[in-house]
């Protein structure tokens, strides 16, 4: 996450999740759970459920706002771990 995201209050961060969830639903992707973990370098972990990795990649591009002026505003880096 960016410094700007880290400066948000917990309530503001929570408000970010419904936005991501709505975008995910447009691609048939579901958020199973999310949280702010301890002991790892990530500030936010979101677990998504999908059976279509191509749709996930398209969703991720929209979620990260790639190709727009907003790209990188809140998220500077992501890591995807696939579980089958």
How many whole angstroms separate alpha carbon 39 and alpha carbon 52?
30
Q: What is the pLDDT of residues 22-58, one digit of tens each?
A: 999 999 999 999 887 888 777 788 899 999 989 999 9
Q: Is 63 left (phi over 0), alpha (psi -120 to 50) or beta?
A: alpha
The pTM of this model reads 0.75
DSSP code for 74:
S
Query: pLDDT tens across 59-75, in order?
Result: 988 888 887 878 777 77
Q: What is the pLDDT of residue 1?
A: 67
CB 44 within 8 A of CB 34: yes
pLDDT score for 23: 93
Instruction: Give the Cα separation of 11 and 9 in Å (integer).
Output: 5
Q: How confident is the model at residue 55, as a pLDDT?
A: 93
């Amino acid at each position: 996450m960016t410094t700007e995201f880290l400066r948000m209050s917990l309530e503001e961060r929570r408000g970010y999740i419904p936005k991501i969830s709505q975008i995910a639903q447009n691609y048939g992707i579901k958020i199973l759970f999310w949280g702010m973990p301890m002991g790892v370098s990530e500030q936010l972990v979101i677990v998504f459920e999908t059976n279509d990795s191509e749709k996930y990649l398209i969703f991720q591009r929209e979620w990260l706002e790639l190709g727009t002026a907003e790209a990188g505003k809140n998220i500077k880096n992501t890591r995807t771990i696939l579980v089958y």
